[in-house]
């Protein structure tokens, strides 16, 4: 009899006590439910190796994917929100920002960095959905505006990666002003004949869609991203009609002429680089 043979009968481990794998080692795709190693998932630019579902990722992951050797210089890393309206909903805005900063490790819903992408110098601002739903408040607008100013000063192309639920309610009118501010800056970039590429990722909605996200020389998107202005329920109630199938997906928006192309995240860096080489 081998020494490891279980001699006692009836020993049961309840399911909730079973440890199958350490947390974070496996990723399960929410669409096809297939499990894969997190390392494999990361090597695949956080897309599912089975069904190609594009997992929502934040600025750090995009910067690692796009900048050569993951090296970049962040601009205005310490800008953070004021509370101009002394806004309180279920909790005060100041407390909400503080709690989100702690939880996400971010200062606000966007980060700007410059560096080399396939040896091309570029400025990238990328939004973070984990910070109050990627909402556009005064810090997001200011970081984009300053990112464009940096691109103008150094004559560099600008890439915006949007991922947002829209304007930040807690800053009300101050949020809406960011639409005009960023649009004006982008007009200066266009006058200087510097390229602006806008990448819309899942989801891009509200005031973000209605301003900088749709103002690119090229407006591009990841597959199956939700892209829209108002939510489908509001539109349905307004027009009093059933909405077409696939409404507000990147594929639908492309078919109706609002996007230039859809790019798989695994090809993003190469496509952006060849696009910039073509137009510069
Ligand atoms: Zn999948």
Structure-token match 């970081």, residue found: 143
Cα(50) to ligand 1 centroid in Å equals 5
Return the number of other C-beta atoms located less than 10 Å from residue 173's C-beta.
9
Q: What is the mean pLDDT of residues 223-244?
A: 92
Residue 233 has pLDDT above 90, yes or no: no
Cα(269) to ligand 1 centroid in Å equals 22
Mean pLDDT of the chain: 93
Query: Would you place residue 24 in the very low, low, confident or very high pLDDT band (cuts 50, 70, 90)?
Result: confident
From 104, 99, 97, 100, select the one nearest 138 (Cα to Cα).
97
Residue 16 has pLDDT above 70, yes or no: no
Cα(244) to ligand 1 centroid in Å equals 25
Answer left, alpha or beta for residue 208, where phi above 0 means left and psi between -120 and 50 means alpha.
alpha
Q: What is the mean pLDDT of residues 252-280?
A: 96
Cα(227) to ligand 1 centroid in Å equals 21
Query: Would you place residue 181 in the very low, low, confident or very high pLDDT band (cuts 50, 70, 90)?
Result: very high
Determine whether the annotation assigns residue 48 to a binding site. yes
Mind listing the pLDDT tens digit for each residue in 170-180? Answer: 999 999 999 99
From 162, 160, 156, 102, select the one nearest 135 (Cα to Cα).
162
CA angle 81, 85, 90 (to 5 degrees): 85
Cα(25) to ligand 1 centroid in Å equals 17
Do you know the residue count of the chain?
280
Euclidean distance between CA atoms 200 and 250, whole angstroms: 9
Residue 5 has pLDDT above 90, yes or no: no
Cα(39) to ligand 1 centroid in Å equals 15
Cα(33) to ligand 1 centroid in Å equals 6
Mind listing the pLDDT tens digit for each residue in 137-171? Answer: 999 999 999 999 999 999 999 999 999 999 999 99
Q: What is the mean pLDDT of residues 229-252?
A: 91
pTM of this prediction exceeds 0.85: yes
Residue 17 has pLDDT above 70, yes or no: no
Q: Please report, for residues 62, 166, 178, 205, the alpha-carbon distance to residue 173 in angstroms, rounded to integers and kept in the order given.
A: 30, 13, 9, 17
Determine whether the annotation assigns residue 32 to a binding site. yes
Residue 11 has pLDDT above 90, yes or no: no
Euclidean distance between CA atoms 255 and 155, whole angstroms: 33
Cα(40) to ligand 1 centroid in Å equals 13
Determine whether the annotation assigns residue 126 to a binding site. no
């Amino acid at each position: 009899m081998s020494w490891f043979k279980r001699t006692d009968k009836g020993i049961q481990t309840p399911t909730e006590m079973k440890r199958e794998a350490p947390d974070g080692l496996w990723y399960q795709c929410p669409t096809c439910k297939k499990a894969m190693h997190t390392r494999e998932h990361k090597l695949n630019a956080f897309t599912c190796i089975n069904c190609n579902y594009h997992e929502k990722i934040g600025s750090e992951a995009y910067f690692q994917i796009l900048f050569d050797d993951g090296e970049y210089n962040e601009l205005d890393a310490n800008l953070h929100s004021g509370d101009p309206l002394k806004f309180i909903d279920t909790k005060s805005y100041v407390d909400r920002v503080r709690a989100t900063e702690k939880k996400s490790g971010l200062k606000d819903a966007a980060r700007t960095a410059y560096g080399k992408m396939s040896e091309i110098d570029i400025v990238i601002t990328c939004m973070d959905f984990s910070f109050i739903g990627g909402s556009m408040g005064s810090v997001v607008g200011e970081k984009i505006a300053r990112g464009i100013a940096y691109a103008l000063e150094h004559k560099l192309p600008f890439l915006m990666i949007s991922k947002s639920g829209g304007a930040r309610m807690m800053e009300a009118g101050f949020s809406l002003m960011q639409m005009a501010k960023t649009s004006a800056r982008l007009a200066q970039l266009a006058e200087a004949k510097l390229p602006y590429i806008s990448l819309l990722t899942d989801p891009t909605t509200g005031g973000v869609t209605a301003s900088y996200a749709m103002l690119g020389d090229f407006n591009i998107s990841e597959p199956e991203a939700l892209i829209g202005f108002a939510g489908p329920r509001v539109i349905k109630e307004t027009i009093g009609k059933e909405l077409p199938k696939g409404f507000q997906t990147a594929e639908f928006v492309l078919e109706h002429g609002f996007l230039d192309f859809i790019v798989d995240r695994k090809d993003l860096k190469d496509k952006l680089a060849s696009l910039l080489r073509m137009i510069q």
